Amino acid sequence: MAQDRKFDFPGFGEKDGDPRVVREQFWRTAKKAARHIPFMEDVVAAYYCAMDRNTPMRAKGILLAALGYFILPTDSIPDFILGLGFTDDIAVLTAAITTVRAHITPAHRMAAREAIADES
């Protein structure tokens, strides 16, 4: 998947929900998870939404927390466990995306489609 070029959000602090950490590790995790997560386009669109300066802080916080959880290799169910590893990530991402769906714009979705197509 292509690196983000269209959206930018300055970082704050050194923690897993930090946009810099999410940005750095998101694409590596997304590539590994792509075949396990049926709504990967929504996840990538959520990533672009979180990195967009125009997204409200509350929505960014929710998305960065969920994406931070997604990139952690050792969460409630470690990602390396075949068949189960991404189930907790899917639940967290689904809840976050559903909560902030109104802030995920057509531009975020278009950027997600382009990023996914670049990797195909």
Q: pLDDT (tens digit, 9 = 90+) per residue, 80-104?
A: 555 666 678 888 999 999 999 999 9
Whole-prediction pTM: 0.71
Is 36 inside a domain boundary? yes
Residue 27 lies in a domain: yes
Closest by CA to 24, choosing from 59, 86, 56, 72, is 72
Model confidence at 107: pLDDT above 90: yes
Does 72 map to a domain? yes
Per-residue pLDDT, averaged over 60-77, amounts to 82
Q: What percent of the chain has pLDDT over 90?
A: 39
3-state secondary structure of 11: coil
Residue 79 sits at φ, ψ, to 5 deg, of -65, -20
pLDDT digits (tens, 9 = 90+) for 22-49: 777 787 777 777 766 778 899 999 999 9
Our count of domains for the chain comes to 1
The mean pLDDT value of the chain amounts to 78
Report the alpha-carbon distance of residue 83 to residue 60 in Å, rounded.
Answer: 29
Domain that holds residue 74: 19-119
